[in-house]
Amino acid sequence: MEKFEAALRRVRERTPLVQCITNFVTVNDCANILLASGASPTMAHDIREAAEAVTGADALVCNMGAIEDTDAMILAGKQANRLGKPVILDPVAAGGTALRRESAGRLLSEIHFAVIRGNASEIRGLAGETAAGSGVDAGVLDVVTEENLLSSLEMVRSFSQRTGSVIAVSGAIDIISDGNNAMALRGGCATMARITGSGCMLTTLIGAFCGAMPDDLYTAACAAMAAMNVCGELAEKRRLTNGTGNATFRTDLIDAVFNLTEQQLTEGVRYEIY
Amino acid sequence: MEKFEAALRRVRERTPLVQCITNFVTVNDCANILLASGASPTMAHDIREAAEAVTGADALVCNMGAIEDTDAMILAGKQANRLGKPVILDPVAAGGTALRRESAGRLLSEIHFAVIRGNASEIRGLAGETAAGSGVDAGVLDVVTEENLLSSLEMVRSFSQRTGSVIAVSGAIDIISDGNNAMALRGGCATMARITGSGCMLTTLIGAFCGAMPDDLYTAACAAMAAMNVCGELAEKRRLTNGTGNATFRTDLIDAVFNLTEQQLTEGVRYEIY
Amino acid sequence: MEKFEAALRRVRERTPLVQCITNFVTVNDCANILLASGASPTMAHDIREAAEAVTGADALVCNMGAIEDTDAMILAGKQANRLGKPVILDPVAAGGTALRRESAGRLLSEIHFAVIRGNASEIRGLAGETAAGSGVDAGVLDVVTEENLLSSLEMVRSFSQRTGSVIAVSGAIDIISDGNNAMALRGGCATMARITGSGCMLTTLIGAFCGAMPDDLYTAACAAMAAMNVCGELAEKRRLTNGTGNATFRTDLIDAVFNLTEQQLTEGVRYEIY
C-alpha cells in the first residue's frame, strides 16, 4: 500500500523523538525498536521531569506495565495534549487487578489518547465488555477470529467513536478503527507471543509513526501495525530456516525493522478495509 | 531420566503462569526464558497488586535482586502460601549487606518457600555457615567441589529439613535436596558465569516447573536444573563452533530452552543420587 | 599501543568488581559488557545499601539515567571517595531538564569523579558552554568535528583542570584529557548511535578499566574508549557482511569485547596525541 510506504519514509526522514513511560521488562527492546525504525527514544519517566521532557518529544507512549508511573503519565499526557502531540496508550493487563482498572480509568478520563493499542482482552475490558484475559495475554474467548470479526470491528469502531482515539487490537488478526474507517490486518506469527514485549514494541512503533505524521494518526497506526506484521513474518522465516528460538527471533524482529524496505512492506502487508 | 522428560512435557502442556517479583537487571531474560520453556510470565511487583496477581498465577518467584520489593514479596508470598501455590526464593547476594541479611531473614520467617535456589555463598550464608562471597558471585572458598561434595550435600539436606524447602545450590556442580533425597548434577559451562542472569533464569525456570507440577516440587526443581545444564552445554557448543561471545551465548541459551527436546534432556543430563 | 594492551590485560587479570548505579533501560547491557571485558558487575543501587556495597567494589559508575537514584549516588560516591576508589560519571541528558541540571550540579559538588564521560552536548553543558542537545543524543551544533577539534580539546582540557577529573567526550571523534595530556580517538561506527546504551556501555567499560588500574586513570579511560571503538568496528564489519541490523549489532558488540585480543586492539586503534 502506497500510504504505508510513505509513512515508513516519513519516520526515517523526520526521525521523531518518542518519549516512553514504560515498564522495566521490555524498555530496552522498546528503545531499540524505535532506533531500528529511524526514530529516537527518550525514556524519561520521573514525575519531576516527565512533563518537561514532553516539550522536546514528538510523541508520548504511556505503557501501563509501568503501573507505578501512572501519575507521571497523567502529568506528561496532559502536557502533550496541551502541546498537540500525540499520546499513545498501551493498557497492559488493564483489567488484571483493581489497581490497573483504577489506573486505566484515570488515564482515560484525564488524557486524550491519539491511539490505544492493546490485545483483545485489554481493549474489550476498556470498552466495557466482559473480558477473560489473565496476566498479560489475551483470553481465548476474547481474541479476534474469523467468526467474530465483524462484531469485533463494530466494537473497536464504537469504542473509537466514544473516545475519539484510534483503537487498535493486535493478535493473530489485527483490527483497527478511527471511528469511521476500519481495517483488519493479517500477518505476524505465533512466535511473537513467545517473546516478551511484542505488544510493547508494537505500541512504541505506533508512537514513532504518529510522531512522524501527527496529521494522519489512523494511517500512522495502520502502517506501524503493517510493519510489525511484515517484520514478524521475516523474522519467523529466519527462525524456521536457522532452527533458532524465541531469543534469536526477538533480535531478528528488531533487525527486520532496521532493514525494512518500502518494497518489503508493500509486498508483505495483507489487509482488508471494512 | 524419564522423570525429567515427563516434567518438561508437563511445563509445555500446562503452560503455567509464573509471577516474578524480580530485579531490573535480568527481568527481560527471565520473562523470555519462561516463554521459551512454554510457561507464561507476569512481572507484577507493585505492592498494591502483587498479592492480588498471585490469584491467577501458578507459581511465584521472589528474587532478592529486587531488594526494594521485599514488602511486596512478603504480601504476595503469604497469599501464595494461603492459596497453596509454590513460592521460589532466589536469595541474590543475601549475605552481601546488612539490608540483604535483614530482608532474607524476614522472607524466611514470613513465607514458606517451596524451593530456595542460590549460589554456594548465598545458601551457606542462609544456612548459618560463614560464607565468603562478595557481590553476586560465590566466593571461591564456598563453591561445591569434589572434595567438599559430601559435606555440602549434608549442609543442603540439613537446611532443607529445617526449612521444609527444597534447597538447590547451583555452580560447576549443582546439589539439591528435599531433606530426604539428594542429588548432584553436573553440566552447564563456565560461560554461564560470564553472562548476567544465569542464576535468575535458573530460578525462574524452577518456577515454571514447580508451577506445572506442584505435586512433586523436588522432581520439578531437579528437572529445571537438569534442563538448564543441558541447555548451557548446547549453547556453549554453539559458541565454540561459531567463535561468538557471551552476548550470543545468552541468546543461544534461551533458544536452547525453546528447542529442548525430551531426548536432548535425557541424553544430556548427568546426575548422581545420594 | 602497548599501554592499551597492558590495560586490557589488567582488566582480565584483576577481574574488578564494578558497582553501577544505572538506568533500567540499558542495565542488562552494562552488566553483560562488564562480564565480557573480564570484570564483574554489581548493580546495588538501593539507598539503604549503595554505600555499603562500595566497600567490596573496585570502582563505582554513576549513570544519571537513573535520575531517581541521585541521593544513592551521592552516598555511594562519597564513600568511594573516602575509600580511594574511582568514581565514573555518565551525565545522561544532564542539560535536558531542570531536574537533571540540579542533579548534575549536586553530583559534581559532592563527589570527586575520576572520569566524566558524556556526549558532546552533555559535556559542553556541564562545562558551562551553551549546548544544543535534546533528549539523550548530542546536538548537531555540539559534536566534535575536524573543524572544531582544537577548540573542543581545549574545552575538555580546561574542564578537566577545573574538576580534577579525566574528561571524555564520545562521538564520531572521541576526545579525552586529564588536564595535561589530551588525545583524540577515531573509530567506532554510526550504528553505535542506532542502539540504546552505546554510551552507557562505554562508561561502564571505563569503570572496568579504572577499577583494574586505579593508579593510571587517564590510560585506563583512553584504553576503554579505544577498546569500544575497535569493537564497534568489528561488530559493524559483521553487520555489513551478514546484512543484520541494530539488534544483532548490539550482541556482536558485546561479543567483540568478550573476544577482543591485545593484537586486535593495537592494530585497530587510531588516535592522535595533542
The angle that helices B246-259 and C246-259 make with each other, rounded to 10 degrees, is 120
CB pair distance less than 8 Å for B248 and C256: no
Residues of A in Cβ contact (< 8 Å) with B35: 194-196, 246
Residues near C216 by Cβ (< 8 Å), separated by ≥ 6? none
What's the pLDDT at C137? 77
Nearest by CB to B196, from C28, C46, C256: name it.
C28
H or E stretch at B30: helix B27-37
pLDDT < 70 regions, chain B: 131-135
Tell me whether residues A258 and C247 touch, CB distance under 8 A: yes
Kindly tell me if the per-residue pLDDT of A190 is higher than 80: yes
Give chain A positions within 8 Å (CB) of C245: 36, 254-259
Which of A22, A92, A196 best tests the B interface by mutation, with the highest count of B CBs <10 A? A196
Number of domains in chain A: 1
**Residue found by looking up cell 577499577 in the block:** C211
Please report the pLDDT score of residue A129 as a whole number. 82
pLDDT at A245 over 70: yes
C219 pLDDT more than 90: yes
CB C245 within 8 A of CB A259: yes
C-alpha dihedral sign at B235, B238, B239, B244:
negative
B97: DSSP letter: S
Q: What is the pLDDT of residues C43-85, one digit of tens each?
A: 999 999 999 999 999 999 999 999 999 999 999 999 999 999 9
Mean pLDDT of A243-272: 98
Evaluated on CA atoms C185, C191, C193, C199, the torsion sign reads negative
Per-residue pLDDT, averaged over C202-230, amounts to: 98
Averaged pLDDT of chain A: 96
Q: Has C125 been labeled as part of a binding site?
A: no
Single-letter amino acid, residue C56? G
Question: Contact, C114 vs C210, CB < 8 A?
Answer: yes
* Helix runs in A43-84, H state only: 50-54, 70-83
B8 is written with which cell numbers? 518438561
The pLDDT assigned to C138 comes to 80
**DSSP for residue A134:** B
DSSP state of A67: G
Q: What is the pLDDT of residue B179?
A: 98
> In terms of Cα–Cα distance, which of C154, C159, C134 is closest to C144?
C154
Nearest to B96 among C28, C40, C53 (CB): C53
Chain centre distance of CA C117: 5
Instruction: Give the torsion sign (CA, A157, A160, A165, A168).
Output: negative
Q: What's the confidence (pLDDT) of residue C139?
A: 82
Cα–Cα distance list, A100 to A125, B77, B107 (Å): 11, 20, 26
pLDDT(C116) > 80: yes
Instruction: Determine, for residues B194 and C36 on separate chains, whether the beta-carbon distance falls below 8 Å.
Output: yes
| Average pLDDT, integer, range C173-198 | 98
A24: chain B residues, CB-CB within 8 Å = 24, 27, 43
Q: Residue C130's pLDDT is what?
A: 72
| pLDDT tier, C129 (very low <50, low <70, confident <90, very high otherwise) | confident
Query: How many Cβ atoms sit within 10 Å of the Cβ of residue C249?
Result: 27
* Residue C50, domain CATH: 3.40.1190.20
The 10s digit of each residue's pLDDT in A78-121 is 999 999 999 999 999 999 999 999 999 999 999 999 999 999 99
pLDDT band (50, 70, 90) for residue C132: low
Task: Work out how many CB contacts closer than 8 A connect B with C.
Answer: 88
d(CA A107, CA A69) in angstroms, rounded, equals: 11
Grid cell locating A31: 528503545
3-state secondary structure (DSSP) of residue B154? helix
Taking the CA atoms of A218, A202, A88 and A20 in sequence, report the sign of the dihedral they define: negative
Task: Say if C93 is an interface residue toward chain A (CB within 8 Å).
Answer: yes
H-assigned helices in A195-245: 198-212, 217-242
What does pTM read for this prediction?
0.97
Question: Could you tell me the maximum CA-CA distance found in chain A, to the nearest angstrom?
Answer: 49
Q: Which residue of A has its CA nearest to B37?
A: A194
What's the distance, CA C62 to chain centroid? 10
Q: Which letter does DSSP use for residue B137 in this model?
A: B
Look at residue A124 in the predicted model and tell me its pLDDT.
Answer: 96
**What local confidence, expressed as pLDDT, does residue C134 receive?**
57
> b/e for C84-107, b at 16 or more Cβ within 10 A?
ebbbbbbbbbbbbbebbeebbeeb
Nearest C-alpha neighbor of B263 from the set B239, B215, B220, B230: B230
- Residue A133 has what pLDDT? 62
pLDDT at C131 over 90: no
Give A200's DSSP letter.
Answer: H
The residue among C198, C149, C182, C186 whose CA lies nearest residue C30 is: C198
Reported as type and span, the H/E element at residue A265 is helix A262-268
CA atoms of A227 and A231, how far apart (whole Å): 6
Q: C-chain residues within 8 Å CB-CB of B250?
A: 32
Residue C131 gets the label, from left (phi > 0), alpha (psi -120 to 50) or beta, of: beta
Q: Which of A40, A53, A253 has its CB closest to that of C96?
A: A53
pLDDT, position B133: 62
The residue of C246, C248, C255 whose CB has the most chain A CBs within 10 angstroms, and thus the best one to mutate to test that interface, is C246
pLDDT per residue over C32-50, tens digit each?
999 999 999 999 999 999 9
**Is a pLDDT exceeding 60 seen at residue C217?**
yes
User: What are the backbone dihedrals phi and psi of residue A188, each rounded to the nearest 5 degrees, phi first?
Assistant: 70, -160
Amino acid at B138: A
Predicted local distance difference test score (pLDDT) of residue C135: 64
Inter-residue contact B231 to B100 (CB < 8 Å): no
Chain C residue numbers touching B137 (CB-CB < 8 A)? 40
Task: Please tell me the predicted confidence (pLDDT) of residue A93.
Answer: 94
Q: What is the pLDDT of residue A135?
A: 64
Q: Which residues contact A162 (CB under 8 A, 6 or more apart)?
A: none
Phi-psi region of B78 (alpha: psi -120 to 50; beta: other; left: phi over 0): alpha
Confidence at residue C141, expressed as pLDDT on a 0 to 100 scale = 82
Contacts A24 to C, Cβ<8 Å = 24
Chain C, residues 132-171, CB within 8 A of chain A, namely 134-137
In the predicted model, is pLDDT for residue A134 greater than 80? no
Task: Residue A151: give the domain boundaries.
Answer: 1-273
Task: Encode C189-202: b = buried (16+ Cβ within 10 Å), e = exposed.
Answer: bebbbbbbbbbbbb
Distance CA A211, CA A14 (A): 9
Helix (H) or strand (E) holding A24: none
Does residue C97 belong to the interface with chain A, where contact is any CB pair within 8 Å?
A: yes
Rounded distance, CA B247 to CA C194, Å? 18
Residues of A in contact with C197 (CB under 8 A): 28, 31
B170 belongs to an annotated ligand binding site: yes
Indicate if ipTM > 0.90: yes
Q: How many CB atoms lie within 10 A of CB B252?
A: 24
Contact A187, A232 (CB under 8 A): yes
DSSP B193-236: GGSTTHHHHHHHHHHHHHHH-TT-HHHHHHHHHHHHHHHHHHHH
| Structure-derived torsion over alpha carbons of residues A46, C52, C80, C86, reported in degrees to the nearest 10 | -80
Considering chain C, what percentage of its residues have pLDDT values greater than 90?
94
The alpha carbon of residue B131 is apart from the nearest alpha carbon of chain A, in Å, by: 32
DSSP-derived letter for residue A137 is B
**Burial level of A1, CB count in 10 A (0-12/13-18/19+)?**
middle
List, as one string, the DSSP characters of chain C.
-HHHHHHHHHHHHH--EEEEE--TTTHHHHHHHHHHHT-EEE----TTTHHHHHTT-SEEEEETT-GGGHHHHHHHHHHHHHHT--EEEE-TTTTSSHHHHHHHHHHHHH---SEEEEEHHHHHHHTTS----BTTBPPTTTS--TTTHHHHHHHHHHHHHHH-SEEEEESSEEEEE-SS-EEEEE---GGGGGSTTHHHHHHHHHHHHHHH-TT-HHHHHHHHHHHHHHHHHHHHHHHHHHT--HHHHHHHHHHHHHH--HHHHHHH-EEEE-
- Separation of CA B173 from chain center: 14
Q: Tell me if C41 and B196 make a contact (CB, 8 A cut-off).
A: yes
Binding residues of A for substrate: 43, 197
> On the CB side of C244, how many CA atoms lie within 13 Å of its CA?
21
Q: Least CB-CB distance to C137: which of A40, A52, A57? A: A40
Alpha-carbon distance of B27 to B201, in angstroms, equals 9
Nearest CA in chain C to A17: C135
